[in-house]
Amino acid sequence: MRLTKRTLVPLRQSTRLIRIRPDRAWAVFLPSDGARGRFRKYFRNKADAEAFCTSKRSEMATLGVQAQGLTDTVKREVLSCLQMLAPIGKTLTEAVAWYSDHYKRLDKSVSVAHATEALMMRAKADGLSQRHIRSISSVMSIFGRDFALRQVAELSGGDIQGWLDRYRKKNGRPLCAVSHNSYRRYVALFFSFCLKRGWVGASPLVRVGTRKVLTKVPRLLSPDELRVILDTAPDNLRPVLAIQALCGLRVAEAARLRWPDVLWTENGNFIRIGADTAKTSRRRLTPIPDGLASYIRSASQGEGHVYQPGRGSVDALQKAVSALRRSLPDLAWGRNALRASALSYRLAMTKDAAATAFEMGNSPIVLMRDYRELTTASVARNWFSVLLETQGGVKADLATSAKKPT
């Protein structure tokens, strides 16, 4: 902007304005690179205004000399960059700063293959369960293979979203909503690990959404169906199934349960779930129903795991249960149905969601959302008395236990 007598010259303001705002007695007009042609800066006295004007004249002279040294190519490049940045409201300085920071992150980053290997080593060093480590490995091995040569800092939310959308299982089907969210969760764990190492500036997963999952409450088993299951189950599998059905243990908790964790006290009988066994890593005591207590006493081995063939192996217990389920094709025995039935029937008996959730190792919200099914107290009483009525092996065990001293 061409200098005039109104630019970089101290101008005294009106007497009326000075009386109202003595700090604005003098004004200096300056050129502006914005939409307005100029803007004002106010001073209390003339000496400060003149000193400011002298400083600005020197600065503008220096900038003018530097500008004269710029080639026409550089000037055209600057104008082109400003035009590209105008629609998004960013300055050239902000754009250069962002690129510089991004380039530094790329320089410090590592390949996805290296990062996934480091994640697995960290998971093992942190003492995560073998099952958890396998779950992480199953997803991250695929992710690491597909993005092996890419730098971690290069990946964007669009890259991750596209990978989740394109991924196909061995049967050619895309990820369902539950699997999509599960894969996303493990990739988020990966980028959280990379963020702590300084390999990325921010996690791109904030731009990758989750899919809506329509939660279906597992169908409840009836007392008659539970009788069939216990009658059909092998002797070594029956105790753990009975505990699952009447105490609501998760499969992993039941697989790791040991006989010393069955407590007989003056205040009641309980299953002790340790922090190393529980899914939430929180200890709890689950009450043992009276009907189950007699059977457990007769079946107890005193030491070792309740399900001896597996010896704490979750996979071994799941395989045994799956084989039993296949042997009962006419029985609609869904996944997690034993625990869901125990929770629902227990809630029907207590009418207390908080207490039931505490016993079963859940929050009341999760209990009401994922497990609760409508039933009555009378049906619940039949469920918890099944062991007293079951024919066959269980009844024989009860008869044997009656002859043993307690």
223-403, CATH topology level: hpI Integrase; Chain A (1.10.443)
User: How many angstroms from the chain centroid is the CA of residue 190?
Assistant: 11
Sign of the CA dihedral running 379, 383, 384, 388: positive
- In the chain, which residues have pLDDT < 50? 1-3, 35, 391-406
- Residue type at position 35: A
How many Å apart are CA 174 and CA 180, to the nearest integer? Answer: 9
pLDDT digits (tens, 9 = 90+) for 20-39: 999 999 998 887 655 455 67
Q: What is the dihedral of CA 44, 45, 47, 49, to 10 degrees?
A: 50
For residues 204 and 105, the answer to whether their CB atoms sit within 8 Å is no
User: For residues 138 and 185, what is the distance between their CA atoms, to the nearest angstrom?
Assistant: 13
| Helix (H) / strand (E) containing 51 | helix 46-68
CATH topology of domain 112-207: DNA polymerase; domain 1 (1.10.150)
- Extents of the domains making up the chain: 11-104, 112-207, 223-403
Q: Tell me, what's the pLDDT at 391?
A: 37
Per-residue model confidence (pLDDT) at position 4: 53
CA distances from 181 to 10, 114, 208, 281 (A): 65, 24, 10, 22
